[in-house]
Amino acid sequence: MVSELTVLFRRRRTWAMLLALAAVPVLIAVAVRLATSPVAPGRGPPFLDRVTQNGLFVAITSMVVCIPLFLPLTIGVVAGDTIAGEAGLGTLRYLLVAPAGRVRLLIVKFAGAAVFCLAATLTVAVSGAAIGAALFPIGPVALLSGDTIGVGESVLRSLLIAGYVTISLLGLSAIGLFISTLTEVPVGAMAATIVVSVVAQVLDALPQLDWLHPWLFSHYWLDFADLLRQPLEWTSFGNNALLQGGYLLVFGALAYGRFVTKDILS
Amino acid sequence: MTSATPSVELAIETRGLTKRFGHQTAVDGIDLAVPRGAVFGFLGPNGSGKTTSIRMLLGLATATSGDIAVLGQEMPGRLREVLPRVGALVEGPAFYPFLSGAANLRRLDTADPGASSATRAARVNRALERVGLTHAASKKVRAYSLGMKQRLGIANALLVPRELLVLDEPTNGLDPQGTREVRSLVRSLAAEGTTVFVSSHLLAEVEQMCTHAAVMSAGSLVAQGTLDDLRRVGQAHVRVRTPDVADARRVLAGLGLVADRVDANRTAADRSAADRTATDRFGAPGDPNADGLLSAPLADGAVAAETIVAALVADGVRVRGFSVVGASLEERFVALTGEGFDVVQ
Ligand SMILES: Nc1ncnc2c1ncn2[C@@H]1O[C@H](COP(=O)(O)OP(=O)(O)O)[C@@H](O)[C@H]1O
Ligand SMILES: [Mg+2]
């Protein structure tokens, strides 16, 4: 497992993706700072209008901006690469004759992708907090429910949101892992995973498919606003965790079924 | 296992091992028997099924049918017990280009749950030293030459002491110096008691480092045994060219030699068909003046060549050509696998 993370985080590609994610809050903060007219409430991404009053909202706004595309993009690259990347390099056969054990390898690979999800969301959160603190005043945060919390409490809430987003991405990671067992071409698995995440969001936006929406892994992705209420509203957190757990089980089982019997011919 | 329990005397044993890809049979019912302690050459032209067989031995691919035992245990059923005792190089080396040579070995070593992390650094250094890569240990594999990668692949197989090494074409991409080094490495490993199973498409290589060999052709195992056994089958032959085929055959039989007609380079298999339609330069059968070519295996020291010629001439056989063709593994290999560069489909 340590070795898996070493390999993941010794790649320049991993750092490039994290760097790109860190750049998003910086871009947003600088753009808002340089704008002459204040942002009108209700325009632009949610929470954008609050950024000038409180720098802590940079992180939250950035999260909202990154969730639909940037985060799934990086997760798609990492999760799609898990097995297919090793197969493409040919190292998969050496891992298996070591013998790494096929189930053990799948679990370690998924855990690696999950750690990356956490690293990616924390990157956005930390970079957002840092640039927000640098460019805007920091103070007690007014919650959606009207209550006000202190800076310390608001940092906790930010971490909670990062946790929520990380969990949100686990379903997609499991899908990526499964797709990755189907091919020896990592780029194909990455692209397919990203396409799946886009399709899910498109379906989620079609009102005709109401019945399907609660089953889409992307359905609760943006519902972390509940964590900005007082008292904490855990319903969407629970629903989301349950849904992602379901995806993890189903696609984990599919990946297992596929990988355990697969002929490694690369 | 359908039949008797796997023998402990054999490092590798297969029964009717078969692998089909769609309609194509890549490995066709082979029965390998690799004795412990042997340096076993797995010889065959490109595409004859060597790598596919090795993948099945190592549990990377499942056999379509047949049984496998490695180190006396059933595969792939006992994979967890067997594979830590087996070092392997399969279808060329493969590494993470963005990691150094030493980091690659550490990574692959952690994949083996039985490998101790306390001794890891020392074992990696020792393996690198053994293949002469110490100076390139911290270099990224991206910057390695093919030969260096090949050496690193062998180093990976040597990370822990192994009972069996499976090396698939280990000298591919190596310069002559590297080839010699691999050969001496294999010899020293064998001297330590490791069984080495090495595949190659080069006869010379097998001849120089192996004690045993098996020959693959188009997915089938066509010969197997010690090198001496294989040479013995490919023994010397006397060849007689004469129009008096029947008389010559009789004389040779009197000397204890069993002669076969081998006109126009035909092999035994298609000779009878050819006889029926023969219109080649040896003439149709029945033409009393057309030459025929007889060949008879000549056991060592059985009959002297000059005795054979004298006997033939004394009997009035018109001897128009006579030769003794020596035995070589080369000849045997060509006879078994066919000549030329045709990739067997
Ligand atoms: N993944 C595959 N799919 C279909 N056919 C394959 C595959 N791998 C190998 N083959 C076929 O199996 C045969 C044996 O290949 P291989 O075992 O690689 O030969 P060798 O190692 O002796 O050169 C070849 O004819 C090859 O075309
Ligand atoms: Mg091969």
The predicted-structure confidence for B221-259, as pLDDT tens digits, reads as follows: 988 999 888 877 666 778 889 998 888 999 988 888 888
The answer, for B91 touching chain A at a CB cutoff of 8 Å, is: yes
What is the location of CATH 3.30.70 in chain B? 235-326
Q: Which residues between 114 and 143 in chain A have a beta carbon less than 8 angstroms from any beta carbon of chain B?
A: none
| Tens digit of pLDDT at every position of chain A (266 positions) | 778 888 888 888 899 999 999 999 999 888 888 876 666 666 677 777 777 778 888 888 899 999 999 999 999 999 999 999 999 999 999 999 989 999 999 999 999 999 999 999 999 999 999 998 888 888 787 777 777 888 888 888 889 999 999 999 999 999 999 999 999 999 999 999 999 999 999 999 999 888 999 999 999 888 888 888 877 788 888 999 999 999 999 999 999 999 999 999 88
The answer, for B22 touching chain A at a CB cutoff of 8 Å, is: no
Task: Return the percentage of chain B with pLDDT > 70, whole number.
Answer: 85
Size of interface A-B (CB pairs under 8 A): 83
- What residues in B contact A261, CB-CB < 8 Å? 62
Pair B302, B256: CB distance under 8 Å:
yes
Question: What is the per-residue pLDDT for A94?
Answer: 96
What is the location of CATH 3.40.50.300 in chain B? 10-231
Judge: A90–B94 Cβ closer than 8 Å, yes or no.
yes
The answer, for A101 touching chain B at a CB cutoff of 8 Å, is: yes
Nearest CA-CA distance, residue B84 and chain A, Å: 6
* Closest-CA residue to B88 (of B46, B113, B59, B117): B59
Question: What is the per-residue pLDDT for B262?
Answer: 75
* Least confident segment among B100-114, B142-156, B314-328: B314-328
Question: What is the per-residue pLDDT for A195?
Answer: 96
Question: What is the per-residue pLDDT for B273?
Answer: 42
List residues near ligand 1 (CB under 6 A).
A 265; B 21, 24, 26, 44, 46-52
Query: What does the pLDDT average to over B111-118?
Result: 89
For the residues of B54-119, what is the DSSP string, one character each?
HHHHTTSS--SEEEEEETTEEETTTHHHHGGGEEEE-SS----TTSBHHHHHHHHHHTSTTS-STT
The predicted-structure confidence for B6-25, as pLDDT tens digits, reads as follows: 555 899 999 999 999 999 99
As a whole number of angstroms, the distance between CA B40 and CA B199 comes to 8
Taking domain B235-326, whether its CATH number is 1.20.120 is answered by no
Going from the Cα of B1 to the center of ligand 1, the distance in angstroms, rounded, reads: 26
Task: For residue B343, name the pLDDT band (cuts at 50, 70, 90).
Answer: very low
- Domain definitions of chain A by residue range: 2-260
Pairing mode, if any, of strands B86-89 and B24-30? unpaired
Question: What is the per-residue pLDDT for B267?
Answer: 41
User: What is the average pLDDT value for chain B, to the nearest integer?
Assistant: 84
Taking domain B10-231, whether its CATH number is 3.30.870.10 is answered by no
Which phi and psi (to 5°) does residue B287 adopt?
Answer: -70, 115
Six-digit token string for B222: 């066509």
As a whole number of angstroms, the distance between CA B47 and CA A180 comes to 28
Task: For residue B125, name the pLDDT band (cuts at 50, 70, 90).
Answer: very high
Judge: A3–B92 Cβ closer than 8 Å, yes or no.
no
ipTM of the assembly?
0.87
The number of the ligand nearest the C-alpha atom of B220 reads 1
The number of the ligand nearest the C-alpha atom of B216 reads 1
Going from the Cα of B50 to the center of ligand 2, the distance in angstroms, rounded, reads: 6
The number of the ligand nearest the C-alpha atom of B46 reads 1
* Closest-CA residue to A161 (of B330, A153, A183): A153
* Least confident segment among A52-61, B82-91, B112-121: A52-61
pTM for the model: 0.82
Q: Which residues between 128 and 167 in chain B have a beta carbon less than 8 angstroms from any beta carbon of chain A?
A: 156
The answer, for B94 touching chain A at a CB cutoff of 8 Å, is: yes
Nearest CA-CA distance, residue B30 and chain A, Å: 19
Residue B90 has pLDDT above 60, yes or no: yes
* Closest-CA residue to A90 (of A2, A220, A184): A184
Strands, DSSP E only, in chain B? 10-21, 24-30, 33-35, 39-43, 65-70, 73-75, 86-89, 164-168, 195-200, 212-217, 220-226, 237-242, 260-261, 292-297, 321-325
The predicted-structure confidence for B34-63, as pLDDT tens digits, reads as follows: 999 999 999 998 899 999 999 999 999 999
Question: What is the per-residue pLDDT for B2?
Answer: 43
Question: What is the per-residue pLDDT for B266?
Answer: 43
Question: What is the per-residue pLDDT for B287?
Answer: 65
Which residue among A6, A94, A105 places its CB closest to the CB of B108?
A: A94
The answer, for A69 touching chain B at a CB cutoff of 8 Å, is: no
Which residue among B61, B103, B111 places its CB closest to the CB of A98?
A: B111
Query: Which residues, at least 6 apart from A212, have a Cβ–Cβ distance to it below 8 Å?
Result: A203
Task: Give the residue from chain A lying closest to B58, CA to CA.
Answer: A97
